Structure 1
């Protein structure tokens, strides 16, 4: 059978395109799949203090211990609650800023606003948190201002740090740029003629926003919320500094089991639980995203 001239070479670009994926696939397997697989395997190994070798001696003792201790279950629930609250607060704070940046057509103003958002990401997280500690501490700027107005209850400072509230403040400050950048691209992609059509049909600017712009920006809202949720429940440095190790979340327990007690197997078990919580959030995101796109749930 005679081949049609040029048909064999037509497949070469497609083959080359798939070859471009190879470096990313190798990186993903080596630095994600294998480490996560080892963590899963370690979590089923018997407890051996100071030893991290993966063995074929499998047991569910670590998981039984996790689900039989109320402090670990409370830490899991607290982590999820923290992620939900931070995602909600961050969305409320970030959406107006993202909307203004997306609707600003002047190049200079748009660039200036983007620099304001990106500037926070250029500073090291520890430096940013120490800056917040200066503001939120017992003798910080906020408490000093309240004292000058005579608003401090019984002369005691308002506890804005080393508690759940302080961790929320720190995580919102940390995750805000990620939410803003996620929303900007989606809001920019909304066709302005749709809102203009709603206005021409008699809708007020507010009604056009809530009936057209906000629903069409839902993919960015879901994606940004998922990103912030994942960053929040997996954060260690923020609960450590802003919570003072007093807010028991799963990353804090992982650190204590691995670094303080050298119980690597149980630390891996907590890490697996944290991973499954993140995976559950991704599953919910995909389900909601499918509904928003008109697919079957």
Structure 2
């Protein structure tokens, strides 16, 4: 009798484990559509781009011919026009990330600490409303605002504060302003959840130990919100370094960054191989910069990333 009970229990256990295994196997089928989409629309194009980048540059030819060469990359790193564009792209993206953080953190802090549902909803609408418009429309709005005959220069000229229009567009300043305007909501949304997760009792404990409100913020709240700062900064940096529309419109084709060069080589001269090489350099540059920033921020945050 005991042997039969033991066999029954073992069969039930084995049956349960088989059922659980089959259930877990079925769950993996939910990943298949996303995996196929990722494979077809990211991995395959990226691999094709890398392959074309190492092919001989022939105008008008898109397919991979197998003429392996490093000439495209040698050209990028031996001509100041291109390697200066790399440094310019990194510099602009870093400045945009810093500006978005300085502007976005106070707004995210206010939204996270606002408990009134109506006020909180209103502030969230202000953040999300800008994302409802296309980037081109938003840039044309900035052009109306910052142009030589725009609202800002018009008001300053009418008041007599300046004698000639300020150069607010078609330069690096205009590109930075445009990118900050586009990426600011992403920074704010990355910070709100992290700041909300910081329990108020931690700040109250610091205050009870003699810290001022400012000291409690700098020593408690800000370090604990470092994961959100890291995520928002990386997202803004990646969006800024790969942006084409903003430098083209706000820079007036005068601020030569890597996406502008990619467009010129592919759309204007038809040199797909050289344009692919620039795209590979942009990808690797962004990846390297993100890796370095992640390591530095992780050390600053004490590993909370």
Match of 1:231 among 239, 242, 245: 239
Alignment of 1:145-294 (within 5 A): 145-152=155-162, 155-288=163-296, 290-291=298-299, 294=302
- CA drift at 1:139: 0.8
In 2, Cα distance between equivalents of 1:92 and 1:184: 14
Whether the 8 Å CA contact 1:39–1:272 is kept in 2: the answer is yes
Query: How many pairs are equivalent?
Result: 295
Answer yes or no: is the 8 Å Cα contact 1:226–1:281 preserved in 2.
no
Looking at structure 2, the residues matched to 91 and 162 of structure 1 have their Cα atoms a distance apart, in angstroms, of 24
Q: TM-score, normalised by structure 2?
A: 0.93
Shift, 1:291, TM fit: 3.3
Contact 2:94–2:237 (CA<8 Å) still a contact in 1? yes
TM-score normalised by L of structure 1: 0.95
Moved over 3 A (4+): 288-296
Q: Which residue of 2 aligns with 1:82?
A: 92
Q: Which residue number corresponds to residue 137 of structure 1?
A: 147
| Cα offsets for 1:164-215 (capped at 9, x unmatched) | 0000000000001110001101111111111111011111111100000001
What's the counterpart of residue 3 of structure 2? Answer: none
Q: Which residue of 2 aligns with 1:63?
A: 73
Report the equivalent of 2:62. 52
The runs of 5 or more residues in structure 2 that have no matched partner are 1-6
**1:219, 1:292 within 8 Å by CA — same for their partners in 2?**
no
Rg (Cα) greater in structure? 2
What is the DSSP-based 3-state SS (H/G/I as helix, E as strand, rest coil) of the residue aligned with 2:57? coil
Q: CA deviation at 1:295?
A: 4.9
User: Contact 1:230 / 1:278 at 8 angstroms: preserved in 2?
Assistant: yes
Shift of 1:222: 0.8
CA deviations on 1:67-86 (whole Å, 9 max, x unpaired) are 11011011000000000000
Question: Is residue 37 of structure 1 aligned with residue 54 of structure 2?
Answer: no
Aligned partner of residue 7 in structure 1, secondary structure: helix
Q: Are 2:121 and 1:111 equivalent residues in the alignment? A: yes
Q: Which runs of 5+ in 1 are unaligned?
A: none
For residues 9-32 of structure 1, the C-alpha deviation after alignment (integer angstroms, 9 at most, x for no partner) is 122332233222221111111111
Determine which of 8, 14, 32 is the counterpart of 2:18. 8
Distance 2:135 2:251 in 1: 15
SS of residue matched to 1:8: helix
CA contact (8 A) 1:97 1:180 kept: yes
Q: Do 2:101 and 2:233's aligned partners in 1 also have CA atoms closer than 8 Å?
A: yes
| 1:7 Cα offset (Å) | 1.9
Task: Judge conservation of contact 1:183–1:217 (CA < 8 Å) in 2.
Answer: yes
1:292 shift after superposition: 5.5
RMSD: 1.7
2:41 is paired with a residue whose SS is helix
Distance 1:274 1:30, change over 3 A: same
Shift of residue 286 of structure 1?
Answer: 3.9
Query: Alignment partner of 2:254: what SS?
Result: coil
